Chain A
Amino acid sequence: NAGVTQTPKFRVLKTGQSMTLLCAQDMNHEYMYWYRQDPGMGLRLIHYSVGEGTTAKGEVPDGYNVSRLKKQNFLLGLESAAPSQTSVYFCASSSSGSGAFEKLFFGSGTQLSVL
């Protein structure tokens, strides 16, 4: 059971380039999330999805777009990368979002550097 898989693990971009980060989960989870983590800081929610075909904005959505065309996949896109988007990106999934007993399963992260 792979859990939550993120690709790629590392990426270097030049300012203005675009890219897509892929998150895949094999746990049949309804909810998926994208977080970013800057050095010495906690995780900040970028976007999330409560089911296939749905997306919603989190705390820091500007400069990012997402899509959830298939239940198992959640894509994070950067249309025009900026140095401020240099960060570690984590994807997570959960079986439901609003239940009392709930825990998130996280991927191992993508280290993105924008030069």
Chain B
Amino acid sequence: DAKTTQPPSMDCAEGRAANLPCNHSTISGNEYVYWYRQIHSQGPQYIIHGLKNNETNEMASLIITEDRKSSTLILPHATLRDTAVYYCIVRVLGDYKLSFGAGTTVTVRA
């Protein structure tokens, strides 16, 4: 599996966009980028995933660089409820499981 690198923590102001970076420099052509988040004491929650095109859903946007070596998760208008640990995961197509690293602890401040 390709490994990911995320900053351990970041702060964001409520109402502003939060941009969460992820490096996956060894990603291969058939690996997808997934983002999950874990709010304190809860199970992880799926946010978004993508292969090479930018993706957007009701929760967030995912921007993947053209060389696919890095990506950015964008929370367009962060709220206090977005305070959580965010995991960037690269998944091998055909693999059954996701591997979670330490993630980025995002704190949204009023």
Which of B17-25, B68-76, B99-107 sits within the interface?
B99-107
Across the interface, name the chain B residue whose C-beta is closest to A41. Answer: B102
A92: shortest Cβ distance to chain B, in Å?
7
Residue among B32, B43, B98, B100 making CB contact with A107, cutoff 8 Å: B43
A interface, size bucket? 20 to 34
Determine whether B51 belongs to the interface, using a CB cutoff of 8 Å to chain A: yes
Report B80-106 residues with CB < 8 Å from chain A CB.
87, 91, 93-103
Report how far A90 CA is from B49 CA in the complex, Å: 21
Give the number of residue pairs across the A-B interface with Cβ within 8 Å: 56
Main SS class of interface, B: loop
B44 with A106: CB separation less than 8 A: yes
Q: Is the CB of A90 within 8 A of B44?
A: yes
Q: Which residues of A contact B36 (CB under 8 A)?
A: 104
